Structure 1
Amino acid sequence: MSDIFLPGSPPIGLILRRSARARRITLRISQLDGRVTLTIPKRLAAREAVAFAQSKEGWIREHLEARGADICVGLGSELPVGGQMLRVVAGKGRSVQIGADEIAVPGAADRVGARLGAYLKQVARDRLAGACDDYAALLGRSYNRITMRDTRSRWGSCTSDGGLMFSWRLIMAPPEVLDYVAAHEVAHLAEMNHSPAFWAGVERIYGPYKVPRGWLRKEGNQLHRYKF
């Protein structure tokens, strides 16, 4: 793979991926990080890929604008916690403190993003562990472990040996969304599939799930815009 740029204001970075199986140029914009990838036949000249991208420039810029730019978290920035937008301000003492409309982070300004990210990961773990305990009790099954990751393609998973994995970014979503994902993965302890029996299990331990599931599909990718 190689990186090239589409001229303009601002210029757009293009990731050029050559594939022996590609028969034509294909273009993909990641809704997670806004990366624009061109997959091209192995022997096609790079200039032809750029020309193709230029012919699609309006479409590319429209989609990137709709996604929004990445947000580097620091003093003065805003981010959602539990679905509520909070402004990041300088804190005192040793602990991160969440207020009605602010989140106070102590320490050096250049470390605020990293410190806040670490704090949110721990809060996410505590919150998800509590939710999983409750749903596992309702299901009558137990899990073996919980792991937090910053996954790009899924919000959670369940292994055959009872291991649960979640994206820590769920702590930024509304509480009912986090709870739904916890119930979804716990339900896999009984049904390792997405059969009608599985969805019946989700509804039994969580309740109606279409609204939080829809929120994830529509808004979930926005949570990946925040860079810590």
Structure 2
Amino acid sequence: MSAHHLPGDPPVPLLLRRSARARRISLRISALDGRVTLTLPKSLPERAALEFAAEKEDWIRGHLARHPGQVAVTFGTVLPVAGRDLRVVRGQARGVRVAGDEIAVSGDRPARSLERYLRELARDRLAAASDAYSAQLGRPFHKLVLRDTRSRWGSCSSAGALMYSWRLILAPPEVLRYVVAHEVAHLQEMNHSADFWAVVQDLFGDHEAPRRWLRENGSQLHRYRFTD
């Protein structure tokens, strides 16, 4: 891939990707983070792709205007953490501490420290919920892994390995618990049949509200960028 920009105010970052299977230029804007990617045939000059993007500038900018922009996490950022909006402030004590509606971080570069803190908090909450639902179902899981996935919030392998996106800690607690109940239910039903949804109902209860929340708001959890 190569990085370019669509000129203007502000400039729009473009990623150019070549594909041996592409027969024409295609344009995609990620629903998760607003990334603009142009895929072009191997033999086509990059200039042609940039001209194509310039022709589509009004459409690109219109789409991005409706898309939640990325948020670089720093002092002053308001982070949704387990159902609470916390403002990032500079702390005096070492590490990360939550007090009231603030989350205090020492040092001058808070993003990495916050990401580590949130990953550990996510692991604690996800492991506790997984243990509880697994015991309720009477089926143990083999291991638990956290990732920063964009295509799914969780998964369960046939070997009993559970995987979750650590960004679920940025969602309301009931949404995190629903995702866990969904994946634990796969320990018994490796499908999305009526029997599977009956297991989810037994474990979690009415799950329509958290499912709807993820459909409508899940992409916003990827807005937050934890790089200094």
Alignment of 1:173-212 (within 5 A): 173-212=171-210
Q: Identify the residue that residue 22 of structure 1 maps to in structure 2.
A: 22
Cα deviation, residue 92, structure 1 = 3.4
Q: Give the number of aligned pairs.
A: 226
Structure 2: gaps of 5 or more residues: none
Deviations 1:62-91 (A, max 9, x none): 222222322121221111111322101122
Distance in 1 of aligned mates of 2:222 and 2:132: 28
Query: Secondary structure of the equivalent of 2:114?
Result: helix
One-letter amino acid of the counterpart of residue 68, structure 1: P
Distance in 2 of aligned mates of 1:100 and 1:200: 39
Q: Identify the residue that residue 74 of structure 1 maps to in structure 2.
A: 74
Query: Secondary structure of the equivalent of 1:87?
Result: strand
One-letter amino acid of the counterpart of residue 183, structure 1: A
Q: Identify the residue that residue 115 of structure 1 maps to in structure 2.
A: 113
One-letter amino acid of the counterpart of residue 107, structure 2: A
The 8 Å contact of residues 74 and 109 in structure 1, kept in 2 or not, is answered as no
Deviations 1:29-70 (A, max 9, x none): 112232111112232232222222122212211222222322
Structure 1: gaps of 5 or more residues: none
One-letter amino acid of the counterpart of residue 79, structure 1: L
Q: Identify the residue that residue 89 of structure 2 maps to in structure 1.
A: 89
Deviations 1:165-193 (A, max 9, x none): 11111111001100011101101101112
Cα deviation, residue 95, structure 1 = 4.5
Distance in 1 of aligned mates of 2:93 and 2:22: 57
1:170 to 155, 168, 171: 168
The 8 Å contact of residues 153 and 179 in structure 2, kept in 1 or not, is answered as yes
Cα deviation, residue 93, structure 1 = 2.7
Report the identity percentage. Answer: 59
Provide the aligned C-alpha RMSD in A.
1.5
- Range that drifts further, 171-180 or 51-60: 51-60
Large movers: runs of 4+ above 6 Å: none
